[in-house]
Copies of this chain bind each other. A is one copy, B any other.
Amino acid sequence: MTNKKIVVIGGSAAGAKAAAKARRLDEFADITIVQKAPDLSMASCGYPYYVGGVFNDRNALLCTPAGVVRDPVFFQKAKKITALVETEVTAINRANKQVTCRHCKSGEHTTLAYDKLVIATGARANMPPIPGIDLPGVTTLLSMADTDYLRAIRDAGEVKRAVVIGGGLIGVEACEALQQSGIQVTVVEAVDQVLTFLDWDLAKLVENHMQAKGVRVLTGIGVKEFVGENGKLIGVKLADGTVLECGLAVMAIGVRPNSELAREARLAVGTFGGITVNQYMQTSDPDIYAGGDCVEIPSRITGSPAFAPMGDLANLEGRVIGENIICGNTATFPGTVHTGICKVFDFSAGSTGLSEKAAQRIGMDGYTTVVNASPDKPGFMGAKILVSKLLVDKEQRILGYQCVGLGDVSRQIATAAMAIQGKLKLADVINADLPYAPPFSPAIDHFITAAHIMENKLKGRMTGIGVREVWHKLQAGEKPFLLDGRNPNEYEEMHLGIGETLIPLGALRARLNELPADKDAEIICFCKISLRGYEAECILRAHGYTNVKVMEGGIMAWPYPREK
C-alpha cells in the first residue's frame, strides 16, 4: 500500500487544521500544504488586537500555545507536513488528480499529485471600483501584510485621521484598533446601522457607544471617491460630496469567497459565490474537499446555504475534512446558527440565530420578539446593564438572541447558541438551571429574564412596544400618555424628556386620577429597564385601562437623544 497523497491549498485556519487532523489519523500519509502567503496558521482574528496594541509581539499571531512559530520547519518537525509557502496553486487538474503550483517569487512551476485535495483558499475583501481605491493609504485588514502595514502606521504615529468604510465586524474591530492607536476614526456605513447581524435598535446602542468613545459614525451613506494628492490618500469623498480628510482608509465592506480555482476546475459553486460542499465538506468532486471562508454551509435555522466566514467554523470544518479524507466520510458538519460576537471598546455585541430583520427577510410569520434591559450581575457586585432581544417562532422555539452592553455578553450568547442548536423552546429556558453566584450572574440570569418577559407577552400579560415604534409615534405627532414609573431622584439624574409624566410606581395606585380620563387612551409605561414599567401596566390594566403598553427595555434601550 502506498501512502495516501494529500494536498491542502491554504495554510491558515481550515487548511492547517485539516492537515494536522489528517496527520493524527494517518502517520504515513504524504501531506503537503500549499500556501500563497509567507506565513502559516495565522490567528487572523487577532490582527486588530495587534494593530491596536493589545499585544506587541507579532509572533504571538503565529505561535503554538508553547510559543513556537508555526513555520515550515515546525510543520515538518512536529507534524511531518510539508508546507510550501509563497506558493500559489494556479490550476487543479481533476482528471489527472494534480495541482499546478507557482512559486510567487521565483515564478517556478511544479505539479503535485493528490489522492485527496483540500481547498481552503479563504476569502478576500470586497473592493468595488471606487475611484482612487488603489491609492497608497487605502488598505484592508485581512492579511498579515495588512496587519504589518497598519501596525507600522500605529508605531509611526503620523496618521492623525482615518476612515473605516464598513461598520461590520472587521470594520468595528479596525475602528477600535485605530482609535486606540491615537487616530481619530470616522466609520462610514452604507446601510442605516453598524453590525448588521444585530437589529437596528440594538446596533444603535453600539453606535452610540462608539460615538461616546470619540468615533464619528456616519450611516446611510456611501463612498464616492478616494481623494489623492501626489499619489497619496488625503481624503474620502462621500456620496453627498463631503470630503473626510484622512491619511488612511480601511475598506471593510465584507468579503467574498476565493472560489476561482474551484470554478475553473468546474466544481459546483453556490449563490454567494462559495464552493458548494455536502455534509462531509466534500465538493462536487468526491476527491476534493473544501472548508473555511471559501465555502457555503447550511444555515441550521433556515436550511438554506449561508456564507459564514468565521474563524471558529473554519477550524471545525477543517477538523471534519481531516477526518473524512483519511477515514472516508465518517464525520459531518451541520452548518451554522449564525453566531457571532465582537468587542466594541467597553461594549460587547453578539448574536446567534435569527435577528428580527433576518426573520422578516425570510418571510417568517408568527414570530415574537422582546427586548430585555437588565443587569448581568447583582447591583452590589458592580452590575452592568445588558440589552438583549429574544426571538421565538410561533411554536415558541428559541430562534434568535442578540445582546449588547458593558456586561458579560459572551456567556449570554453562548447559552442561547446552545439553546438554539438544541432546538429548545421558551419553556426550556424559563426555568433553566444556569450557574448562579453573585460574581457571575443575577439570581435570575439575564437570558432567563428575557424568556420570562417573552412568556408574559405570549400569555397576554404584557403588551410590549419597541422604542423605535414609540419614537415614530412621537415623530408622527401622536400623543400617547407616557408614564415614567421611577422615583424623582432617578428622574433628576436621567430622563428622556419626550413629554412623559413621572409617577413613581409606589404612588401609582393613589394617583390614577392623573391618568387620561378616557380608559381607552394609549398609555405607554416605562422606567429605567421597564420592570416597573411592566408593574405599572399590570396595575393600570387591573384598574380598567384597556390600551396600556410597556416600552420594552425602558430608558436603557432608548437609542435616541434624551433630555438628560
Interface residues of A (CB under 8 A from B): 13, 23-28, 43, 45-46, 49-50, 54-55, 57, 60-61, 63, 65-68, 74, 77-78, 80, 169, 173, 300, 310-316, 319-320, 332-343, 348, 350, 352, 375, 378-381, 383, 408-411, 413-415, 417-419, 421-424, 428, 430-441, 443-445, 448, 452, 461, 486-487, 490, 505-507, 509, 527-529, 531-532, 534-535, 538-539, 542-543
The 7 closest A-B pairs by CB, nearest first: A422-B422, A27-B542, A77-B506, A341-B435, A312-B436, A60-B380, A418-B418
Give which listed residue, B67, B341, B380, contacts A437 with CB less than 8 A: B341
CB of A380 to closest CB in B, whole Å: 4
A-B contact pairs, 6 of them (CB 8 A): A26-B542, A43-B380, A45-B437, A63-B379, A312-B441, A421-B433
* B residues less than 8 Å from A340 (CB atoms): 435-437
CA distance A341 to B411 in the complex (A): 14
Separation of A443 and B12 alpha carbons in the complex (Å): 12
In the complex, A25→B541 CA distance in Å? 10
Flag if B60 contacts A445 (CB, 8 Å). no
CB distance from A172 to the nearest CB of B (A): 11
* Residues of chain B lying within 8 A (CB to CB) of residue A311: 436, 443
Q: Are A432 and B418 in contact, CB atoms less than 8 angstroms apart?
A: yes
Chain B nearest CB, measured from A472 CB (Å): 28
Q: Which residue of B lies closest to A308 (CB)?
A: B433
**This chain: how many copies in the complex?**
2
Chain B residue nearest to A440 (CB atoms) is B410
A176 to chain B, nearest CB (A): 10
The distance in angstroms between the C-alpha atoms of A70 and B68, with both chains bound, is 57
Q: Are A319 and B452 in contact (CB under 8 A)?
A: yes
CA distance A360 to B220 in the complex (A): 61
Report the bound CA distance from A68 to B486 in whole Å: 11
The residues of B that contact A336 with a CB separation of less than 8 Å are 433
Please tell me if the beta carbons of A538 and B424 are within 8 angstroms of each other in the complex.
no
CA distance A435 to B206 in the complex (A): 18
- Which residues from B are CB-within-8-Å of A54? 380-381
Alpha-carbon distance A539/B440, docked complex (angstroms)? 42
Closest to A374 in B: B65
New A-B contacts (17) at CB < 8 Å, excluding given A320-B431, A341-B436? A24-B461, A24-B535, A25-B461, A46-B378, A57-B380, A65-B531, A312-B434, A316-B430, A336-B433, A339-B434, A348-B439, A348-B440, A408-B411, A413-B435, A414-B415, A418-B422, A422-B422
- The answer to whether A486 and B419 touch (CB under 8 A), given A436-B341, A444-B316, is no
With both beta carbons as reference points, the residue of chain B lying nearest to A379 in the complex is identified as B65
The reply to whether B350 and A435 form a contact with Cβ atoms under 8 Å apart is yes
Most-contacted residue by chain B among A61, A348, A439 (CB, 10 A): A439
For A319, the closest partner residue in chain B by CB is: B452
Most chain B C-beta atoms within 10 Å of own C-beta, residue among A55, A421, A431, A490: A431
User: B424 touching A380 by the CB < 8 A rule?
Assistant: no
Q: Are A27 and B539 in contact (CB under 8 A)?
A: yes
Q: How far is the CA of A60 from the CA of B375 in the complex (A)?
A: 15
Bound-complex Cα distance A338 to B350 (A)? 28
A26 to B543, CA, bound (A): 11
Min CB gap A529→B, angstroms: 7
Instruction: Please measure, in the bound complex, the distance between the C-alpha atom of A300 and the C-alpha atom of B486, giving whole angstroms.
Output: 40
Q: Compute how far the CA of A314 lies from the CA of B410 in the bound complex, rounded to whole angstroms.
A: 25
Give complex CA distance A79, B26 in Å. 68
